[in-house]
Amino acid sequence: MKEEIIYSMSSPFRDDFRIRGFRFGEGEKTLAVVGSLRGDEVQQLHTCAQLVKTLQQIEKRKGLTDGVEILVIPSANPFSMNIGKRFWAMDGTDINRMFPGYRLGETTQRIADALFKALQGYQYGVQMASSYVAGCYMPHVKLLHTGYEDIQTAGLFGLPYVCVRQPLPFDTTLLNYNWQIWETKAYSLYGGSNSTLDMQVSREVQSAVVRFMERVGLTVADCRPSAGYRPVVFDESELVCIKAPVSGIFFAFRKAGDMVNEGDLLAHIIHPYKGTVEAVITAPAGGRLFFSSDKFLALQSAPLFKICTA
């Protein structure tokens, strides 16, 4: 393993900003893994750290295939993580909305530029991502539909779901999108909630990366993990979204991962002053809860649940 500084930037008030990378093996640029791009992605950071630990063990017992190079970057936003803010502390911009970056631009554009230069040229790219809609998600692989997406290879992670999303105009600045445009097979791995650490989900996602490595020939057979799942593939637009009809205190009876039938009770929304039940939330269709809100306050029209019926 080789530890290096991918990018550094001086700071007038505190220690320098640094992005650290860990390289394994030598040879062709084969796999790059990126952890937290946002300051609240604690689980993503932890999952990458455990992957670094696992890759050290694999490398030590000569389990990596000859002629491959793997790069792991656990965090690209340590400043925001240190103060517990999701976006860049100074101006609230999102590094993951700045790709491919601009070296003469604003701070987050310069960070994205340096990071993307380090990530270009890899055959496969994996991002430990979090959604802009806060809540708890089933572990899954997400791909943006760019015309370059490889859905079949996404199934090699062995996670329960592969979700394909039609990109909106502002999605063209995401890491996943730009990786694909620059000819890297890119996959975003999701699971659990923001700002929390679900050890079971973290282990599942880390195992998925190791499983993927074995299946595409980056490790030898003695590194083989569990078989995983035969994933359900669906378009994100097929999810049944249940939104809050009114605002109030959100009291959920079910959570992400639960199987539900049409008509099942999912939640109550309680009046914040009177304590009365203002809305009874039931399942409009049967399936598995792919997403559940983890907020205690529901805003009118905000997503509460998403059901995968596939």
Query: Which portions of the chain are predicted below pLDDT 70?
Result: 221-225
Assigned token pair, 143: 């791909």
User: Given this model, what pLDDT does residue 223 score?
Assistant: 58
Give the whole-angstrom CA distance, residue 53 versus residue 68: 18
Same domain for 173 and 262, yes or no, is: no
CB atoms within 10 A of CB 189: 24
Question: Domain end: 210, 236, 262, which one?
Answer: 236
Write the CATH number for 269.
2.40.50.100
Question: pLDDT tens, 111-157?
Answer: 999 999 999 999 999 999 999 888 999 999 999 999 999 999 999 99
Domain count, the chain: 2
Same domain for 230 and 253, yes or no, is: no
User: Given this model, what pLDDT does residue 135 score?
Assistant: 92
Same domain for 300 and 179, yes or no, is: no
Same domain for 116 and 163, yes or no, is: yes
User: Given this model, what pLDDT does residue 173 score?
Assistant: 96
pTM of the model: 0.93
Same domain for 193 and 54, yes or no, is: yes
User: Given this model, what pLDDT does residue 134 score?
Assistant: 86
Question: Domain end: 187, 216, 236, which one?
Answer: 236
Question: Domain end: 236, 255, 273, which one?
Answer: 236
Strands (E), the chain: 2-9, 17-24, 27-36, 67-75, 124-128, 136-144, 161-165, 185-192, 232-235, 240-243, 248-252, 259-260, 265-270, 277-282, 287-292, 297-298, 303-308
Same domain for 289 and 205, yes or no, is: no
Give the whole-angstrom CA distance, residue 165 versus residue 235: 6
Same domain for 156 and 294, yes or no, is: no
Domain limits at 296? Answer: 239-308
Assigned token pair, 165: 């999303």
Write the CATH number for 194.
3.40.630.10
Residue 20 DSSP label: E
Same domain for 218 and 254, yes or no, is: no
Same domain for 175 and 279, yes or no, is: no
Same domain for 59 and 194, yes or no, is: yes
Same domain for 122 and 158, yes or no, is: yes
Give the whole-angstrom CA distance, residue 182 versus residue 282: 44
Question: pLDDT tens, 70-124?
Answer: 999 999 999 999 888 999 988 999 999 999 999 999 999 999 999 999 999 999 9
